[in-house]
Structure 1
Amino acid sequence: MADVARLAGVSTQTVSRVSNGYPGVVESTRQQVRSAMRELGYRPNSAARALRRGEFRTLGVILFTLSTTGNMRTLEAVASSAAREGYATTLLPVTVPTQDEVRGAFTRLGEIAVDGVIIIMEVHLLDTATVTLPPHAQVVVVDSNAGDRYCVVDTDQIGGARAAVAHLLELGHETVWHIAGPEGSFSAERRVDSWRSVLRGAGRAEPALLRGDWSAESGYRAGLRIAADPRCTAVFVANDQMALGVLRALHEHGRRVPEDVSVVGFDDIPEAASFLPPLTTVHQDFAEVGRLCVEDVLRQIRNDAPEKGTTLVPTDLIVRHSTAPPPTL
């Protein structure tokens, strides 16, 4: 800093003000200092600056799985939104979603210094009485049922599933089968509950629930059971990857989509429009989820904390060519 000050012909205090972006420096002087910085290869010490200011311009992300489309797209949106606000993102995957693992993750994030934490999870953990996060932690949670204790951001799982099932019933199908996500998943639970609610509200029979693990292979295995049942003319699948497996199973059994069986997915992954046939699915706005997460945690950091509770991002049913009226007998 002293070398820059000598070259620019200013005080070290002026160099400090320029490097930290403070106002009150004449523009010509600011440019003169920056020119000296470039010539000398000077870089401000971000670690020292963080210690002095008490902020690190970094958000930590605790993520329970990197394998699902929703989590990865939410993580991407969080990182992009944080970058636009001038914050870096530090990722800490947790392989086993337990209370001890979450506490350990917070400890590790504390050691590498972050200003706030976003937890992307699809399991029930923070909504149990035994789990508490460190006091005074600036936290936003994605996909949880802990809205009375923390700020939660999620897509409208219930509304999206309701629209999917209602669409199939409105096409004239007598009932709708469902292939759900894994037990313990908050998203899967909400979609199952909504599927049941719509069928019961319409006075329709409730077929046996099938489950997968979000993968295309698990969708294929469940799809084999549906393909072998001639009563099935419509199926709502809890995500697009499993729906891809269902399409394969139906094709192998000679059941045409949508002429014999209509299929609806959930997520609207970029490849959904290129499935054969193009998949009708529920669109989730992951970019908006990520933006709201960053917005909420930054408001907490800036002592303008949002109200605790859940913010729901609307979903949209995207109708393509995998749904049609049921076959006529």
Structure 2
Amino acid sequence: MEDRAGVGTAASGAEGPAPRRRRGASMADVARLAGVSSQTVSRVSNGSPGVIEETRTRVLAAMRELGYRPNSAARALKHGEFRTLGVILFNLSTTGNVRTLEAIADSAAREGYAITLMPVAVPTQTDVRGAFTRLGELAVDGIIVIMEVHLLDTSTISLPPHVQVVVVDSDAGDRYTVVDTDQRGGARAAVDHLLELGHRTVWHLAGPPDSFAAQRRTEAWLAALREAGRTVPPLLFGDWSAESGYKAGKLVPDDCTAVFAANDQMALGLLRALHERGRRVPQDISVVGFDDIPESASFIPPLTTVHQDFAEVGRRCVDGVLGQIRNQSAGPGTALVPTRLVRRSSTAPAPSAG
């Protein structure tokens, strides 16, 4: 018969006290092993300057040997910051949002900050406020919101007051610190390029109507054609995906010689549809995209497109929120990151202009 007494009595303490739980290494333990003061260990833990490299290396080696983990929460309470930024966004499926998030993470890391991502499934006032509350509970120093869609108005969503926040892709610069790509300037460069090649007009494959970026690109396309006195074709719409670009490509009329697509993914689908219809790019029809994704140079033909500097957007977002944290912010306003046209093989003079 199995003897279970040992298990029961050990748990109850009948055979003596339970083994003492091993105490974690303390700052004093690290200091003794490294041969330095506890103050020096604290400075190394906090990433403070003024510690010579040899000493820093010795302290870090002692931390690793002892398995010492600095108490970040305690440091935050003492120094007033958690070295973490929250990022709220509503869509992780678009190229622009993913690349912006990546750029923010890279820029934050260079500043010694981590990021905490908080996706919001339903863009409502309640859910946005809930995301701010949860990020507050997770102890972040500031928040970056990637909006993309029309939400920042008094009837839909307003951000909580007294929060260090930067908004990406919004026209709410009168109330918040906003960072955005120069959407209008980029779209204008795309349309002007096609008109300069002799195309009588330019069709536009627009993004979703509720997108700030899509709206600004459409507005610039429309203004460029009107100022040039050109006929304004009906809009084609997509949802940023290559599939939607492919469907729109089936609707492009045979007399169209130029299309400006609001992003590269839709331009990719458009190129496929035009190829299936026997329309040669750029001999019969020119195509310009927007974003300059890494793959755009490998399209057939390589895509002329508008380059967005996502790295600079990320840097300005992080600089903006850190400026607020450090009381160096100039307040509400919009910072536009310039774009540039990248000319490749998908555009050429209009057939009649050849």
Structures share fold, TM-score greater than 0.5: yes
3-state SS in 1 of match to 2:178: strand
Residues 1-329 of structure 1 mapped to structure 2, 5 A cutoff: 1-8=27-34, 11-22=37-48, 33-128=59-154, 131-226=157-252, 229-328=253-352
**Residues 313, 38 of structure 1: CA spacing in aligned structure 2 closer, same or farther, 3 A cutoff?**
same
Q: Which amino acid aligns with 2:351?
A: P
How far apart, in 1, do the equivalents of 2:232 and 2:240 lie?
A: 22
For residue 12 of structure 1, report the CA deviation from its aligned partner.
3.9
* Identity within the alignment, %: 76
How far apart, in 2, do the equivalents of 1:64 and 1:220 lie?
A: 25
How far apart, in 2, do the equivalents of 1:27 and 1:246 lie?
A: 56
For residue 38 of structure 1, report the CA deviation from its aligned partner.
3.9
For residue 116 of structure 1, report the CA deviation from its aligned partner.
0.5
3-state SS in 2 of match to 1:152: strand
For residue 74 of structure 1, report the CA deviation from its aligned partner.
0.7
3-state SS in 1 of match to 2:328: coil
**Residues 256, 50 of structure 1: CA spacing in aligned structure 2 closer, same or farther, 3 A cutoff?**
same
3-state SS in 2 of match to 1:328: helix
3-state SS in 1 of match to 2:91: coil
Gaps of 5+ in 2: 1-26
TM-score (norm 1): 0.93
Higher mean alpha-carbon deviation, 3-12 vs 289-298, is at 3-12
For residue 39 of structure 1, report the CA deviation from its aligned partner.
3.4
For residue 108 of structure 1, report the CA deviation from its aligned partner.
1.1
**Does structure 1 retain, via aligned residues, the 8 Å contact 2:34–2:59?**
yes
State the superposition RMSD in angstroms. 2.0
For residue 306 of structure 1, report the CA deviation from its aligned partner.
2.8
How far apart, in 2, do the equivalents of 1:200 and 1:189 lie?
A: 17
How far apart, in 2, do the equivalents of 1:26 and 1:174 lie?
A: 67
TM-score (norm 2): 0.87
3-state SS in 2 of match to 1:205: coil
Q: Which amino acid aligns with 2:326?
A: R
2:21 match: none
3-state SS in 2 of match to 1:230: coil
For residue 58 of structure 1, report the CA deviation from its aligned partner.
0.3
Q: Which amino acid aligns with 2:310?
A: F
Q: Which amino acid aligns with 2:349?
A: P
Q: Which amino acid aligns with 1:273?
A: A
How far apart, in 1, do the equivalents of 2:50 and 2:256 lie?
A: 72
2:5 match: none
How far apart, in 1, do the equivalents of 2:212 and 2:53 lie?
A: 54
- Deviations along 1:119-169, one digit per CA (max 9) or x if unpaired, are 112111124455322221011011001101011011110011111111111
**Does structure 1 retain, via aligned residues, the 8 Å contact 2:104–2:315?**
yes
Question: How many matched pairs?
Answer: 327
For residue 25 of structure 1, report the CA deviation from its aligned partner.
6.7
3-state SS in 2 of match to 1:225: coil
**Residues 164, 41 of structure 1: CA spacing in aligned structure 2 closer, same or farther, 3 A cutoff?**
same
How far apart, in 1, do the equivalents of 2:244 and 2:300 lie?
A: 19
Q: Which amino acid aligns with 1:256?
A: R
For residue 31 of structure 1, report the CA deviation from its aligned partner.
6.0
